[in-house]
Amino acid sequence: MDFSLEFTPDLVAVFLTLFVLEVVLGVDNVIFISILAAKLPVEQQAKARNLGLTLAMVMRVGLVFAAGWIITLKTDLFTLWGMGFSGRDLILIAGGTFLVYKAVTEIHHKLEGAEEHTTGAGTATFGAVIAQILALDIVFSLDSVITAVGMTENMIVIITVVVLSFALMLVAARYIFAFVNRHPTVKMLALSFLLLIGVFLIADGFGLKIDKALIYGPMAFAIFVELLNLTAARRRARRAAAREVEPVHLHQQYVDDTGSVKEVQPVE
């Protein structure tokens, strides 16, 4: 591994590419953390988000230093049905299966209406939530570190990217958490994303290589469409509120026998 730092156009391009990849993975982490943390009492939710992200950052930096060992995980351990399975494949399959299970379970709870009775009611322990966050981050980090080491061996660049991206996620986590949990359709969309990522992780574990652009491209488009829907709903609500304003009641006038103008009070 290289610990030198010499600014070159290629190194800057690698840095920016890795930073974008880490931010995208960080958003995945924050969405998953938001869904898990919502099961905790309100006073523990912020602590779970911050601690989960901090431990995830420390874990990813540790995996960067263990990159040499991680690369050995690509060696096949056994063959089944004529297909070789490495340590990396097994981790991806296990992590993808867990992610699919969690996403399907949360979608089921949401469709059955159970979520309204459990959210923030302490249905999960703090330790269990942190353990699930770390377990999934191992899966996300594994592929991320292998990709980073394949692009550059400069440890300073990789570690800097990891720390900066997680610092950004720590700042954004509170807003993403509030936004996802405030809008039911956004939360369903986020759960669908996690389900899709889980399926792709399992496919990758079985040797089916799928371009990540085929995952995040449709995700970005779906988010854009959802933002349009939220904007349209907000404008409809604003127009409906304007129509509910009490109208002005005009008094009817008439002239009596003396020639004076009188007003008739409107009937309530």
34-52 burial, b at 16+ Cβ within 10 Å, e below that, comes to bbbbbbbeeebbeebbebb
CA atoms within 13 Å, Cβ hemisphere of 170: 15
Could you tell me if residue 78 is inside a domain?
Answer: yes
Could you tell me if residue 2 is inside a domain?
Answer: no
85 or 64, which is more confident?
85
CA 237 to chain centre: 27
Torsion over CA: 151, 155, 161, 166 (sign): positive
Contacts of 143 (CB under 8 A, 6+ apart): 92, 204
Could you tell me if residue 104 is inside a domain?
Answer: yes
**C-beta contacts of 104-113 below 8 A and 24+ residues apart:** 104/195, 106/35, 106/191, 107/188, 107/191, 107/192, 107/195, 110/184, 110/187, 110/188, 110/191
**pLDDT, tens digit, 9 for 90 and up, residues 104-132:** 888 888 777 654 444 444 557 888 888 88
Could you tell me if residue 249 is inside a domain?
Answer: no
Per-residue CA distances from 203 to 14, 32, 90, 102, 259 (Å)? 27, 20, 11, 17, 91
Name the residue range of residue 186's domain: 9-210
Could you tell me if residue 237 is inside a domain?
Answer: no
| Average pLDDT score over the chain | 77
The neighbour count for residue 245, using CB atoms within 10 Å, is 7
Could you tell me if residue 187 is inside a domain?
Answer: yes
Task: Enter the pTM of the model.
Answer: 0.69
Could you tell me if residue 228 is inside a domain?
Answer: no
**pLDDT, tens digit, 9 for 90 and up, residues 168-225:** 888 888 888 788 777 778 778 888 888 888 888 888 888 887 777 777 777 778 888 8
Total tally of structural domains belonging to the chain:
1
Q: What is the DSSP code (8-state) at residue 2? A: B
Which of 157, 205, 153 has the alpha carbon at shortest distance from 5?
Answer: 157
The pLDDT assigned to 2 comes to 53
Could you tell me if residue 89 is inside a domain?
Answer: yes
The β-bridge partners of 22 are: none
